[in-house]
Amino acid sequence: MTTAAPTPHRVTPHRVTPARVLRSEWHKLWTLRTTWITLLAASALVLAVGITMGSTYDGDDSEIDTVVLTLFGTQLSQICLAVLGILITAGEYSTGMIRASLTAVPRRLPVLWSKAAVFTAVAFTLSFVTNVVTFLTAQIWLADTDKELTLTDSGVLGALAGNATGITLMSLIALGLGALLRSVPGGIGAFVGAVLVLPEIITTLPFDAVDDVVRCFPAQAASSLGSITRVENTIAPGPALFTLALWALAVLTAASLLLKRRDV
C-alpha cells in the first residue's frame, strides 16, 4: 500500500505596499536609542530655556513677541532634530542597513519618502506639544506682566504651530542632505554651514539685493512662522511657509533622483 506524497506548502511572498514600508520605517525609527535621546533632548532644551526666560523676565524685553520669548530654546532643539533627520538617512549608509532596506524595497523611492513621512509626523507632533507645554509653563511666571497670554488669545496657537512647522521643514531639509551626502558628519556640516551659517555671511555683502534674497533662505523663512506679530526683515508667514516647503521638496527630490541613479 502506498501513501501519497505530501503536497509542499506554498509560501506566498508579502507584497511591498506603501503601508508596509511606512510601518517598517516607523519601527526602525523607534528601535534606535539615538531617537529617544535626541527627541528627549530637543524637548527638554525648549522647556528648560522657556522656563528660564519666563522666570527671569523683568520687563526689559517688552518689544519681543511673547511666543518668541518663551520658545527661544527652539533654536537649540532645531539642531537636535536636524541631527536626527540626518541619522535616519545617512546613518543607514554608515551601518550598511541601507542594503537590506533597498533589497526589501527594490523601487527604492518608497524607502526615502516613507522615512520623510514618518519623521515629519514625529517631529511636528513633538515640536507642537513641546511648544504648548513650554508656553503654558512660562506663563506661570509671566502672569500679571505685559507678556501674559493664553492659548485662546488671537494668533497664539497659530504661532506655536507655525514654529513647529518651521522646525519640521528645516529638519526635513537636513534629512534630505543626509540622503544626498550619505555621511552623518557631512550632512551635519552641510546643514550647519549651508543652511544656518552661510546666509549670515551673505548678509555682510555690500549689495542692496542681498537682504531680499536672504529672506527666502530656509532659516530666515522659518523665523517668520513662529511669531504672533510680523518679524522684522522677514517675508510674510504665508510666502515663508511656501518658500520653506519648496526648499524641503527640492532637497528631497534631488536625493530621490540620486537614490535611483547611484549604486548602494
Model pLDDT for residues 69-124, shown as the tens digit of each residue: 999 999 999 999 999 999 999 999 888 888 888 888 888 899 999 999 999 999 99
Please report the sign of the dihedral spanned by the C-alpha atoms of residue 203, residue 207, residue 212, residue 213: negative
Average the pLDDT over 36-58 and give the result: 95
The predicted model scores a pTM of 0.90
Query: Mean pLDDT for the chain?
Result: 89
Show the cell assigned to 89.
538617512
Q: Which of 54-58, 77-81, 249-253 has the lowest mean pLDDT?
A: 54-58
pLDDT band of 44, cuts 50, 70, 90: very high
Is residue 255 pLDDT above 60, yes or no? yes
